[in-house]
Structure 1
C-alpha cells in the first residue's frame, strides 16, 4: 500500500505512576496522512499530528505510560519504544511477529510502556515493514522529580532527529527492493528534523533553524532515525560535549563531531559561545565500502544567534570526516565511557555464564526459477547472524512461547558459528555464502550473565552493523579490528566504565563484545538497525525464561492483543 492509502489515527494516553503520586496525564496524538513538499516534489506521508518527525514524548524516570493506537488505515502497523526495557512486559515491546501480531486496519491496541532505569534520550518508531521512515519521534526521560542532572543544567533543550527522505513512496521503495533481490534504492536526501537543508534544490525556505542566545547552554537530544546509513554530525565552530547515550549518562566527552548509527541516541551539550551569526549543523554518511551505493549528500540546519550580524555572510560549514574514514568513526565510538558515579552506578558482569560468538554476514541465495535477481551473479541477497537468516513466523513468537504452541519456532540458534573460517579474509569460499533459513531462537536462563561477541565477516560485502537488543541495555566492553581472539582480546576489555547502550556499531571486518545480565524475562528481538539487513534476515530472538520468584516472572498478556488472522 502507498502512504496515500494510510489514514492511521493514534491516541496516546499517558498514565503517570511516579512515586510522588503525580496525577494521571493524558495526551492525544493523531497520526494521519499529510502532504509534504521536499526536493521540488510533493507527496503524502504518514505523520503524527501533521508533523514529521512525530511529537516528542516527555516522561520522568520510572514512569509508566499507556499508548492506545487506533489503526484506521489500509496497512498494518506496530510501535516500538526503542531502548525502553519494559521490565517483565514484552507484550508492549512492539516488533511485528516477534512480540505481537500487527494492528490491522480498523483495529486498536493499547501499549503499556514501563520506564525503569533509563534516563536521558530515547525514541519511539514504527516496527512494521519500513514505516519507521516517517513514523518516529523523540522520548525525553528526565530525572525523578527533585533529582539533579549529573552535568550543568542546560538553559534550553531541543530534539535533533536525523532521517532519510525518498521522493518515491517508501512502500513502493520496499516492494521494489524485495522483488529485485538486490539493493534498495538510495534515498534522495538526509534530513534534520524532517528538513533536508539548503544544499538540496527547493529546500532553502524549509531549512530547520535553531535560534540561540550568546552565553546560553543547549542540550541537543540527538537521534539517528535514518534507515540505512551511519552518519557523522557536527556544528560549525562549536564543540559538542557528549553527556549521555542510549538513555544512560556518560563521562563528558568533548568532540567537534560525533559518529551516530541508526537507532543510537546522544545527549550533547552545545555552548553558544561564538560571535552572532549563522553556523551550519550538518550530517553526512559514513560507509567504508565501495561495494554498495549510498546517498553521499549532506544535510544541513542552521544555528542562528540572536542579535545583529551581517546576514550576507553565508553560514560556516562544520568539519565532517570523509565518508570512508573508519579511524575517525571509531576513534569517537571507542572513547565513550559510562559516568559510573556514586549517584549513577553501573554493574558490569565481571564473569560470564553464557558466552556466544555471533557472525554478522551478508549472504546470497540462488534466485527462484523463472525470476531475475539483482544480487551478485544473479543471486538474491540475504543476511544472517551465526549463519542463520531469520524467517518471520505467521504468528508472533511471544504468543507461541507463552501458550506453548508448537511449530512456530525452533530453539537451535547456535552459540558459535557452525563453521570456523577466517571471517575477515579478502576472499571467501563460495559455499560459505548460503545461510540456513529458519525461525530459530536462543533460550537463556533467568539472571544468566551473557557475553556476545558480534563478529563482522567479509562474506559478499564487509559492512558495518548497528546491532540493537530489545529489553536490555548492555555494556560494550571491547572493540577490535579483524578476527576476535579469545586469548588476546578479553584481557583488554574495559570492565571499569564501559558505555551502557542498546545499540552498538560493529565496524566492518571487526568485532564488538557486549555483556548484560538476563534479568528481564520475556521474548526480546536482536537485529541490525539497517532496515535492508533486517529485511534480509540479520536478526534473532532471545527468550529469557522466568525466574523462580514472583517478581522474576513475565507478566501475563493483556486480553486485547491484536489477533494474528
Structure 2
C-alpha cells in the first residue's frame, strides 16, 4: 500500500506541476533527435529534444532535485545548459561544452543532476555547443515552495500562466551558416524570421503558415513567462491595446511597473501580468528587433494573436506598431525602470564592499587569417583577449589539477587605457591576443565588474551572461566609465538582480556579486556570434572551508573528451 502511495505522489509531482504536492525529485528524459519541420513554406531537419520545437518545459519546485537524462541520437556533440540555475557546488551539471564538461558524443548519454536552491520563477535551458541552441531550447518553470497558506507570489495570483518563447529561424541549416562564416572570416547570415513559440506568425504568401494563439477570457489575468531564446538579437515584445505589468526578470522578483513594450535580450526572461480587460476580439502580439548600431539584423517581426473567448475567428485583428528598430529611448526607459523587490522575504543583498574591482572592455577586433579570402577574420574579445576553447573541460582541469589546460592570469583591466567609445582616438591596431585565461577568486570574495563597450568596428549592445551566480546591476551609462564620479550614482539599495545583463551600445554596465559557488564559471556575450568569435572568459572560484563550501566530486557518467 505504501509503495502505491509513493507512486501516486511521484506521478502527481511529474504530471501535475501545479499540484498541491511538495515534490523532492523530478525526472526528465531528453532524447536528442532530428525532426523534419516546416516554417516559411520550407521543410528542413532540425535538432530537437523529444521531437519538439521549442523543447519541453521543465517544471520543478524550489528545493527540488532535478535529474535530466540526455540521450544523444544525432550526429552532433551535445550539451545542455540550465541557464540561470545557480548549480551550487554542482558545476558538473552546468552544461557549457569544454567549460564544465566534455560534450555528450553521438550515441552516448549523461544525467544532469542538480538541486534548485533559493530560486523560483522562469529560466530557460538550451544547448551549449555549436549553434544548436537555435532549435534546442525550452523553458524552466520553478514553482515557489509549497506552504500553508499557499500564497505563491508577492503579487495577486494570476488566473493562468503561459510560457512564451521568442526565437529565430533560418531557412538554411544553422550549422552550415556559421561554418561558412568561419571559413570566410566574416559575419554569418542573419536569420530569416523571428518566432513566437516556434512560429513566425501567419504569412500572406504561405497558406500553410500557422501562428501561436493565446486564448484569454475577459476579466481574467494571465502571467506570461517570456523567454528570449534567439541566438543573436534583442527583442521588443508588446500586445496591442494591453499594458503589461512586469513582476519578475531572470527568476527574481521586481517592483511591479506597467509597460507597453518589454525589452528582452537573448538569455533573459521576464514575467509580465496581462489583464484581459478590453472588448471581445483579436489583438496582435508582436516581437521585433532592437538594434541601435549600424549592424545588419533580421528586421522581420514575429506575430501571434491574443484571442478573447467568445470572439469569432474571423473577427478583425486590432493591430499594433512595433517600436522602430533603433528605439533606444524605449529600451532605456524599460531597463532603467527595473528594480529589485527588496522586501523582507526577498531582500536585495548587494555587496557593499568590493574585494575585486574589475574593468572588462568588450567588443570586436580583426585578426590575421591565412585561409580567409580577405586574409583576416572578425573576432571578439574581453580586455583584448579572444578566448580559445580548450580540448579538456576547464572544470576537470581545475578539479584534478591538470596543468597546461588554462592559466589564471586573465587581466582585470584593459592592457592599454584609451578612449574606449571614441571614434577618432581608437588604436589603429585592431588585433587581439588569443588565450585560455581565467580569473581566480577566493571563495566568498566580493566582485565588481564594469563592462565597457568599445567602438572597434562598431559599438553594439552586448547581453552578458554569468554562469553559476546571480548579480546586481548597480549602474549603467553612456560613454566611458569614470571610476571617480560614476560610482556616486550606483544603486546599492534595490538594483535589479539578474544572470544576464545588457551593456548599452557605446556605454557601460556595472555589476556586483559574491563568489560563493566553487567551480569554473563561464562569462560570455549571449549573442551567439560574439561568443563564437571569442567574447568570453571564465572565473575559477576556489573551495572555501569544509565540504559545504567545496565543489562536489564529478559524477561517474561525466562524458569524456
Structure 1: 5+ residue runs without aligned partners? 1-12
1:522-563 deviations in Å (ceiling 9; x for gaps): 110000000000000000000011112321111111122111
> Where does residue 470 of structure 1 map in the other structure?
467
Residue 172 (structure 1) aligned with residue 176 (structure 2):
yes
Distance in 1 (alpha carbons) for counterparts of 2:204 and 2:166: 16
Distance in 2 (alpha carbons) for counterparts of 1:478 and 1:538: 22
Aligned mate of 1:325, from 324, 327, 341:
327
Alpha-carbon offset, residue 23 of structure 1: 5.8
1:252-297 deviations in Å (ceiling 9; x for gaps): 010000111000000110000011111011011001112x311111
Alpha-carbon offset, residue 21 of structure 1: 6.5
Residue 86 (structure 1) aligned with residue 87 (structure 2):
yes
Distance in 2 (alpha carbons) for counterparts of 1:521 and 1:429: 38
Residue 360 (structure 1) aligned with residue 357 (structure 2):
no
Residue 419 (structure 1) aligned with residue 416 (structure 2):
yes
Q: Give the conservation status (yes or no) of the 8 Å contact 1:526–1:541.
A: yes
Alpha-carbon offset, residue 430 of structure 1: 4.8
Distance in 2 (alpha carbons) for counterparts of 1:199 and 1:322: 21
CA-atom RMSD in angstroms: 1.8
Alpha-carbon offset, residue 427 of structure 1: 2.8
> Where does residue 121 of structure 1 map in the other structure?
122
Distance in 2 (alpha carbons) for counterparts of 1:339 and 1:318: 31
Distance in 1 (alpha carbons) for counterparts of 2:412 and 2:372: 35
**Deviating more after overlay: 427-436 vs 90-99:** 427-436
Task: For 1:234-313, list aligned pairs within 5 A.
Answer: 234-290=238-294, 292-308=295-311, 311-313=314-316
> Where does residue 163 of structure 2 map in the other structure?
159
Matched position secondary structure for 2:177: helix
Distance in 1 (alpha carbons) for counterparts of 2:207 and 2:446: 50
Distance in 2 (alpha carbons) for counterparts of 1:49 and 1:473: 30
Q: Give the conservation status (yes or no) of the 8 Å contact 1:474–1:501.
A: yes
**Deviating more after overlay: 553-562 vs 257-266:** 553-562
Q: Give the conservation status (yes or no) of the 8 Å contact 2:25–2:66.
A: no
Q: Compared with structure 1, are the counterparts of its residues 486 and 24 closer, same or farther at alpha carbon in structure 2 (3 Å cutoff)?
A: closer
> Where does residue 51 of structure 1 map in the other structure?
52
1:378-417 deviations in Å (ceiling 9; x for gaps): 5310000111100001111111111111111111101111
Q: Give the conservation status (yes or no) of the 8 Å contact 1:81–1:94.
A: yes
Residue 198 (structure 1) aligned with residue 202 (structure 2):
yes
Q: Give the conservation status (yes or no) of the 8 Å contact 1:199–1:299.
A: no
Q: Give the conservation status (yes or no) of the 8 Å contact 2:47–2:74.
A: no
Distance in 1 (alpha carbons) for counterparts of 2:313 and 2:442: 64
> Where does residue 8 of structure 1 map in the other structure?
none
> Where does residue 189 of structure 1 map in the other structure?
193
Aligned mate of 1:216, from 211, 214, 220:
220
**Deviating more after overlay: 267-276 vs 56-65:** 56-65
Q: Compared with structure 1, are the counterparts of its residues 131 and 14 closer, same or farther at alpha carbon in structure 2 (3 Å cutoff)?
A: farther
Distance in 1 (alpha carbons) for counterparts of 2:486 and 2:204: 45
Q: Give the conservation status (yes or no) of the 8 Å contact 1:279–1:304.
A: yes
Q: Compared with structure 1, are the counterparts of its residues 367 and 23 closer, same or farther at alpha carbon in structure 2 (3 Å cutoff)?
A: closer
Distance in 2 (alpha carbons) for counterparts of 1:297 and 1:28: 35
Q: Compared with structure 1, are the counterparts of its residues 407 and 536 closer, same or farther at alpha carbon in structure 2 (3 Å cutoff)?
A: same
Task: For 1:87-102, list aligned pairs within 5 A.
Answer: 87-102=88-103
Distance in 1 (alpha carbons) for counterparts of 2:524 and 2:207: 34
> Where does residue 556 of structure 2 map in the other structure?
559
TM-score (norm 1): 0.93
Residue 538 (structure 1) aligned with residue 538 (structure 2):
no
Q: Give the conservation status (yes or no) of the 8 Å contact 1:231–1:260.
A: yes
Q: Which runs of 4+ in 1 moved over 4 A?
A: 13-16
Q: Give the conservation status (yes or no) of the 8 Å contact 1:360–1:454.
A: yes
Distance in 1 (alpha carbons) for counterparts of 2:454 and 2:108: 42
Matched position secondary structure for 1:103: coil
**Deviating more after overlay: 555-564 vs 95-104:** 555-564
Matched position secondary structure for 2:333: helix
Distance in 1 (alpha carbons) for counterparts of 2:446 and 2:24: 38
Matched position secondary structure for 1:524: strand
Distance in 1 (alpha carbons) for counterparts of 2:24 and 2:281: 44
1:310-339 deviations in Å (ceiling 9; x for gaps): 8352x2223432111212111111110001
Count matched residues. 543
Q: Give the conservation status (yes or no) of the 8 Å contact 2:191–2:298.
A: yes
Q: Give the conservation status (yes or no) of the 8 Å contact 2:36–2:46.
A: yes
Q: Compared with structure 1, are the counterparts of its residues 521 and 464 closer, same or farther at alpha carbon in structure 2 (3 Å cutoff)?
A: same
Matched position secondary structure for 1:30: strand
Matched position secondary structure for 2:337: coil
Q: Compared with structure 1, are the counterparts of its residues 108 and 413 closer, same or farther at alpha carbon in structure 2 (3 Å cutoff)?
A: same
